[in-house]
Structures are given as C-alpha cells and as structure tokens.
Structure 1
Amino acid sequence: MTAVAVGDAVPELVRRIELADMIAYAGATWDWQRMHYDPAFLEQRRLPAPVVDGQVFGALLAEQVQDWLGPSAGLATLRFRFKNLVFANETVRCTGTVTAVDGGLVTIEQQVEVVEDGRIAVAPAGCEVRL
C-alpha cells in the first residue's frame, strides 16, 4: 500500500477524449443527449464540437485516485463542479493533493484542466478514500 501524507501530490491522469470514446460512453450509460454527438444539433447551438458528458469527469477523478492507491482503496465520497465545457478531441489533466489523513480516511482535493489552453473544466472537486 502507498504511504499517504498531507501535501502529497496525486499522480496526474492525462487523457485525450476522442469522439469514439464519447460514443462508447453514451452507449454504456444510455445517455444519448444530442450535444455529445450530433453535428446538426451542435451547429444550431453554435457549439464548435461535441461536448464531453460531465459524468466522464467523475470517472476520471475516481480512476486517478484508484490508479494511485490501488484496488483495495475504496472511494467513500466524490464531489465535483463543472466550470467549462470540454469538447471532443481535447486532452484533460486531472491533478490532486492530499489535504487530510485521519486514520484510514484520506481527503483529496482535485481539479481537471484542459491541456490545450489551461482552462479549468472541473473545480472544486475532491474525494474521501478509505484505505
């Protein structure tokens, strides 16, 4: 198990989100909101590209923590707030810092930024993990 202390940086998770990934996610979750794939719908709303489903960011934040702490660590809570849209074919970076350790409960503050231009996609965000 990884030793964890306040101030530790969670290893970054960087992921390019392709349109094919978004369509697979929509199929897996039965979320066929047209803003995630339909060019005519997007054009009517003056959106430059399909919008990444917001719940993808919850999955990425959870993945970031699980990759670091391993499969025996259990996510007790996860919270996140959207700041900006992310579009198909953009790359995001999840970052995080340990802010508290109380016995086997670790608190982590996280955020998601778009690599191409640095805009914050998700913040505040964070989780509590039971070790």
Structure 2
Amino acid sequence: MSSDELVFVRTIELPDMIAYAGATWDWHKLHYDSAYLASRGLDRPVVDGQVFGAYLAIALREWFGAEAVISALSFRFKNLVFAGETIRCVGVPSESAAASATASRKIEIDLRVEVVEDGRIAVAPASATLTVP
C-alpha cells in the first residue's frame, strides 16, 4: 500500500447483509439460505454485489467529508465475497486532484475493493468523481 492510498476497512456480517436486503427488497436465496447455498456448493452466503457501491460511497464520504458530492461512481465485480469476510476499499486520487488548492475542487479517484483474508480483488476497475467544498 502506498502513502497516497486512502483505505476503508469493513467486515461484512450476515446481519449487515440482511439489513441491506431489507432496504433494497433483494431477497435472493444466494444471500441467506443455507440449504440453497449448499445445493450450489457454497458454504456461506454471498454478499450482494450492489452493496459494494454503498461501501464505496461510505468510504468516499469518510475520506472527503459529508459535504462531498459524489457525481459519478462506477465499478465492476471480479470475485464473490462471502459473509464474514473483511473488505478493504482503496482509493487513489488523481494527480491533478491532489495538486488542486481551490476552495471547491473536483476529484477523480481510482478505486478497488480487496478481500483482506486472501487479497483477492472483489471490485475493479472502479472510479468516482466528486466535488469537495
């Protein structure tokens, strides 16, 4: 990890996944049903892929403050993440963003999500554009 990387770490537990499912009305059995998972050769529930957008947005707000406005966020899934695993959201601001000293600035940031336990990349490429007051 380099010194210009921003890092946000979170363990995703089954109650977190159930809360997200309730908020989004996404009750696919892949995210909670042990019998369904076993029939597909999986030993743990699979984290809903869309939750990574939420975690990246949370990370951006933590890094740049609640007043930051996220105008674009894109990401691509690479690997499954399972209940109980810890993710690391990593952001690297562009060179121009780091050099900007204006009162309100636009930042382009490259993002990725890694699984801490084994280093596999869960989400990449990913990027965001935001305005920071």
Task: Tell me if TM exceeds 0.5.
Answer: yes
In structure 2, give the amino acid aligned to 1:116.
E
CA drift of 1:119 comes to: 0.4
In 2, Cα distance between equivalents of 1:52 and 1:111: 16
Asked if the contact 2:76/2:123 (under 8 Å) is kept, the reply is yes
In structure 1, give the amino acid aligned to 2:89.
C
In structure 2, give the amino acid aligned to 1:108.
I
| Aligned residue pairs, count | 124
Is 1:50 equivalent to 2:51 in the alignment? Answer: no
Asked if the contact 2:34/2:43 (under 8 Å) is kept, the reply is no
Alignment of 1:1-131 (within 5 A): 8-10=4-6, 12-99=7-94, 100-101=96-97, 104-131=105-132
Which structure features the higher share of strand residues?
1
In 1, Cα distance between equivalents of 2:4 and 2:86: 24
In 2, Cα distance between equivalents of 1:47 and 1:130: 41
Structure 2's unaligned 5+ residue stretches are none
TM-score, normalisation: structure 1: 0.89
Structure 1's unaligned 5+ residue stretches are 1-6
What is the RMSD of the two structures over their aligned residues, measured on CA atoms?
A: 1.4
Which position in structure 2 is the counterpart of 1:4? none
